[in-house]
Amino acid sequence: EPEVTQTPSHQVTQMGQEVILRCVPISNHLYFYWYRQILGQKVEFLVSFYNNEISEKSEIFDDQFSVERPDGSNFTLKIRSTKLEDSAMYFCASTVSTPNEKLFFGSGTQLSVL
């Protein structure tokens, strides 16, 4: 079965540094998402992206966050100036053609901000 791939699997950074988390969604999918999961807590919606623009974003997704699809295959999440509370597992996901369909998740990037 096709997979969503995420790199790196682990990222350690210093507070205040910029990080870029990378994802390659499944090739024929059109909707892309970022979620995060703080250890032991729920999976939280950050942002959805369709047709090269953000379609929805949560209250968590403030000006420190941005997303980009720089080419036909990658989908990135940038955190401009990381804070300790940004430490979490970040999941990328994609769906084929409409929002209310099966989300395919990647295995996540564990971000640790020191």
Partner 1 sequence: GENVEQHPSTLSVQEGDSAVIKCTYSDSASNYFPWYKQELGKGPQLIIDIRSNVGEKKDQRIAVTLNKTAKHFSLHITETQPEDSAVYFCAASGNNNDMRFGAGTRLTVKP
Interacting residues with partner 1 (CB under 8 A): 4, 31, 33, 35, 41-45, 48, 50, 55-58, 91, 93, 99-100, 102-103, 105-108
The nearest distance, CB 55 to partner 1, in angstroms, is 4
- Report CA-CA distances (Å) from 6 to 16, 25, 63, 64, 100: 23, 9, 23, 21, 22
User: How near is the Cβ of 13 to partner 1 at its closest, in Å?
Assistant: 21
- Which CB sits closer to partner 1, 15 or 54? 54
CA distance 45 to 58: 6
Report the residue number, 10 or 18, with the smaller CB distance to partner 1.
10
Question: Helix, strand or coil for residue 15?
Answer: coil
If the CB atoms of residues 27 and 51 are measured against partner 1, the closer one turns out to be: 51
Task: Find the shortest distance in angstroms from Cβ 105 to partner 1.
Answer: 3
Q: Do 109 and 10 form a contact (C-beta atoms < 8 A)?
A: yes
What sign does the CA torsion over 97, 103, 44, 25 have? negative
Smallest separation (angstroms) from partner 1 to the CB of 112: 15
